[in-house]
Amino acid sequence: MECRSSHGLSLAVVVIVAAAGCPAAQVKPPPPPQPSLVGAWQSGCFKIVNADETEGSARATFGVTDSLWAMDTQIFGDDTCGQVVGTVHSDGGYALERPSSIAPGAWELRLDVRTRKVTPHVDGFIAYLQAVSCGDGYKVDRAMDILDLSCPALGAQPFATCGAEHDVVVVNGMTLTLGARPADGNVCTPAARPRALGKPFTRMP
Protein backbone atom coordinates (compact mmCIF):
# COMPACT_ATOMS: atom_id res chain seq x y z
CA MET A 1 0.00 0.00 0.00
CA GLU A 2 1.32 3.44 -0.93
CA CYS A 3 1.50 5.89 1.95
CA ARG A 4 -0.23 9.18 1.19
CA SER A 5 -1.51 12.15 3.07
CA SER A 6 -4.68 11.40 5.00
CA HIS A 7 -6.20 14.71 3.94
CA GLY A 8 -9.66 14.01 2.56
CA LEU A 9 -9.63 10.27 3.44
CA SER A 10 -12.26 8.66 5.62
CA LEU A 11 -11.38 7.68 9.17
CA ALA A 12 -11.50 3.98 8.19
CA VAL A 13 -8.90 4.45 5.47
CA VAL A 14 -6.64 6.42 7.83
CA VAL A 15 -6.82 3.60 10.39
CA ILE A 16 -5.95 0.99 7.75
CA VAL A 17 -2.98 2.98 6.50
CA ALA A 18 -1.69 3.49 10.04
CA ALA A 19 -2.00 -0.21 10.77
CA ALA A 20 -0.03 -1.05 7.63
CA GLY A 21 3.01 0.67 9.16
CA CYS A 22 4.02 3.62 7.01
CA PRO A 23 7.63 4.52 7.79
CA ALA A 24 8.14 7.59 9.94
CA ALA A 25 9.60 10.63 8.25
CA GLN A 26 13.37 10.88 8.64
CA VAL A 27 14.12 13.94 10.76
CA LYS A 28 17.72 15.14 10.88
CA PRO A 29 18.66 16.00 14.46
CA PRO A 30 19.69 19.61 15.03
CA PRO A 31 23.42 20.30 15.48
CA PRO A 32 24.63 20.68 19.06
CA PRO A 33 24.64 24.27 20.32
CA GLN A 34 27.84 26.23 19.95
CA PRO A 35 29.82 26.33 23.19
CA SER A 36 30.73 29.68 24.73
CA LEU A 37 34.50 30.14 24.98
CA VAL A 38 34.22 33.54 26.66
CA GLY A 39 36.34 33.84 29.78
CA ALA A 40 39.87 33.42 31.08
CA TRP A 41 41.25 29.88 31.11
CA GLN A 42 44.55 28.55 32.44
CA SER A 43 46.32 25.25 31.91
CA GLY A 44 48.18 23.37 34.58
CA CYS A 45 51.96 23.10 34.52
CA PHE A 46 53.01 20.62 31.84
CA LYS A 47 56.39 19.25 30.84
CA ILE A 48 57.89 20.03 27.44
CA VAL A 49 60.86 18.78 25.46
CA ASN A 50 62.73 21.65 23.81
CA ALA A 51 64.15 21.59 20.30
CA ASP A 52 67.65 21.02 21.75
CA GLU A 53 66.27 17.94 23.59
CA THR A 54 66.49 19.59 27.00
CA GLU A 55 63.40 19.35 29.21
CA GLY A 56 61.39 22.18 30.68
CA SER A 57 57.80 23.07 31.46
CA ALA A 58 55.13 25.52 30.41
CA ARG A 59 51.81 27.00 31.45
CA ALA A 60 49.31 28.71 29.13
CA THR A 61 46.59 31.30 29.74
CA PHE A 62 43.79 31.58 27.15
CA GLY A 63 41.57 34.67 27.20
CA VAL A 64 38.47 34.83 24.98
CA THR A 65 35.80 37.45 24.24
CA ASP A 66 32.84 37.18 21.87
CA SER A 67 35.12 37.69 18.87
CA LEU A 68 38.78 37.77 19.98
CA TRP A 69 41.27 35.40 21.59
CA ALA A 70 44.68 35.83 23.19
CA MET A 71 47.10 33.27 24.58
CA ASP A 72 50.18 33.74 26.72
CA THR A 73 52.42 30.71 27.13
CA GLN A 74 55.08 30.96 29.81
CA ILE A 75 58.12 28.76 29.28
CA PHE A 76 60.12 27.61 32.29
CA GLY A 77 63.70 26.43 32.62
CA ASP A 78 62.81 23.67 35.06
CA ASP A 79 60.16 20.94 34.96
CA THR A 80 57.95 22.35 37.73
CA CYS A 81 57.07 25.81 36.34
CA GLY A 82 59.37 27.47 38.83
CA GLN A 83 61.70 29.72 36.79
CA VAL A 84 60.12 31.51 33.84
CA VAL A 85 62.58 32.09 31.00
CA GLY A 86 60.32 33.31 28.19
CA THR A 87 56.76 34.19 27.20
CA VAL A 88 55.04 33.65 23.84
CA HIS A 89 52.00 35.85 23.12
CA SER A 90 49.53 35.27 20.28
CA ASP A 91 46.14 36.81 19.54
CA GLY A 92 43.51 37.42 16.85
CA GLY A 93 39.91 36.67 15.94
CA TYR A 94 38.21 33.29 15.92
CA ALA A 95 35.24 31.34 14.62
CA LEU A 96 33.49 28.14 15.64
CA GLU A 97 32.97 26.51 12.26
CA ARG A 98 31.09 23.21 12.69
CA PRO A 99 30.63 20.31 15.10
CA SER A 100 33.52 17.85 15.27
CA SER A 101 33.38 14.09 15.71
CA ILE A 102 36.59 14.05 17.75
CA ALA A 103 34.68 14.00 21.07
CA PRO A 104 31.17 14.65 22.40
CA GLY A 105 30.39 18.36 22.28
CA ALA A 106 33.51 19.18 20.23
CA TRP A 107 33.58 21.94 17.61
CA GLU A 108 36.07 22.81 14.91
CA LEU A 109 37.73 26.10 15.78
CA ARG A 110 39.59 28.54 13.51
CA LEU A 111 42.00 30.90 15.25
CA ASP A 112 42.95 33.82 13.02
CA VAL A 113 46.42 35.03 13.96
CA ARG A 114 46.97 38.78 14.23
CA THR A 115 49.91 39.00 16.65
CA ARG A 116 52.72 36.70 17.74
CA LYS A 117 55.51 37.96 20.01
CA VAL A 118 58.23 36.43 22.14
CA THR A 119 59.64 37.99 25.30
CA PRO A 120 62.83 36.42 26.66
CA HIS A 121 63.30 36.94 30.39
CA VAL A 122 66.87 35.63 30.72
CA ASP A 123 69.96 35.68 28.51
CA GLY A 124 69.96 31.90 28.32
CA PHE A 125 66.60 31.89 26.53
CA ILE A 126 67.94 34.40 24.00
CA ALA A 127 70.83 32.03 23.28
CA TYR A 128 68.34 29.18 22.86
CA LEU A 129 66.20 31.17 20.38
CA GLN A 130 69.26 31.96 18.29
CA ALA A 131 70.48 28.36 18.42
CA VAL A 132 67.16 27.04 17.05
CA SER A 133 66.99 29.69 14.27
CA CYS A 134 64.14 31.75 15.72
CA GLY A 135 65.61 35.07 14.71
CA ASP A 136 67.92 37.48 16.47
CA GLY A 137 67.86 40.96 17.96
CA TYR A 138 66.26 39.78 21.20
CA LYS A 139 66.70 41.63 24.48
CA VAL A 140 65.72 40.58 27.99
CA ASP A 141 62.15 41.56 28.90
CA ARG A 142 61.49 43.16 25.51
CA ALA A 143 58.76 41.67 23.31
CA MET A 144 59.88 40.89 19.77
CA ASP A 145 57.46 40.42 16.87
CA ILE A 146 57.90 37.00 15.22
CA LEU A 147 54.66 36.99 13.21
CA ASP A 148 56.54 36.70 9.93
CA LEU A 149 59.19 34.26 11.19
CA SER A 150 59.32 30.49 11.13
CA CYS A 151 60.07 29.20 14.61
CA PRO A 152 58.99 25.54 14.90
CA ALA A 153 60.75 25.33 18.27
CA LEU A 154 57.99 27.59 19.62
CA GLY A 155 55.25 26.08 17.46
CA ALA A 156 55.16 29.19 15.24
CA GLN A 157 54.74 29.31 11.46
CA PRO A 158 55.15 32.48 9.33
CA PHE A 159 52.00 34.51 8.72
CA ALA A 160 52.45 34.29 4.94
CA THR A 161 51.77 30.55 5.04
CA CYS A 162 49.76 30.34 8.25
CA GLY A 163 47.36 33.22 8.76
CA ALA A 164 45.01 30.98 10.74
CA GLU A 165 45.33 27.90 12.93
CA HIS A 166 42.79 25.08 12.67
CA ASP A 167 41.95 23.54 16.01
CA VAL A 168 39.18 21.79 17.93
CA VAL A 169 37.61 22.76 21.24
CA VAL A 170 35.41 21.20 23.90
CA VAL A 171 33.88 23.17 26.77
CA ASN A 172 32.57 21.17 29.71
CA GLY A 173 31.54 23.31 32.65
CA MET A 174 34.67 24.82 34.18
CA THR A 175 36.98 23.07 31.71
CA LEU A 176 38.01 24.01 28.15
CA THR A 177 40.12 21.65 26.07
CA LEU A 178 41.84 22.41 22.75
CA GLY A 179 43.39 19.92 20.36
CA ALA A 180 46.75 18.24 20.89
CA ARG A 181 49.25 20.12 18.73
CA PRO A 182 52.06 18.48 16.74
CA ALA A 183 55.60 19.23 17.89
CA ASP A 184 56.16 21.85 15.18
CA GLY A 185 52.81 23.55 15.85
CA ASN A 186 51.77 23.29 12.21
CA VAL A 187 47.97 23.31 12.15
CA CYS A 188 47.81 25.74 9.24
CA THR A 189 45.29 23.83 7.11
CA PRO A 190 41.99 22.11 7.89
CA ALA A 191 43.64 18.79 7.03
CA ALA A 192 46.21 19.36 9.78
CA ARG A 193 43.54 19.90 12.44
CA PRO A 194 44.32 17.90 15.62
CA ARG A 195 42.70 14.48 15.83
CA ALA A 196 42.99 14.17 19.60
CA LEU A 197 42.36 16.45 22.54
CA GLY A 198 45.20 18.07 24.43
CA LYS A 199 45.62 19.23 28.00
CA PRO A 200 42.64 20.95 29.62
CA PHE A 201 42.34 24.56 30.72
CA THR A 202 40.42 25.51 33.87
CA ARG A 203 38.23 28.62 34.06
CA MET A 204 39.89 31.33 36.12
CA PRO A 205 37.89 33.33 38.71
Q: Give domain limits for the chain.
A: 39-203
Mean pLDDT by 10 residues, the chain (205 residues): 40 36 63 91 95 94 98 97 97 98 96 98 97 94 96 93 97 97 89 96 97
121: exposed, middle or buried (C-beta count within 10 Å: 0-12, 13-18, 19+)? middle
Residue 162, C-beta contacts closer than 8 angstroms, at least 6 positions apart: 113, 186, 188
Q: What local confidence, expressed as pLDDT, does residue 4 receive? A: 43
Contact by Cβ (8 Å): 69, 63:
yes
Q: What local confidence, expressed as pLDDT, does residue 24 receive? A: 56
Q: What local confidence, expressed as pLDDT, does residue 147 receive? A: 97
- Reported pTM: 0.83
Q: What local confidence, expressed as pLDDT, does residue 183 receive? A: 77
Residue 143, C-beta contacts closer than 8 angstroms, at least 6 positions apart: 89, 117, 118, 119
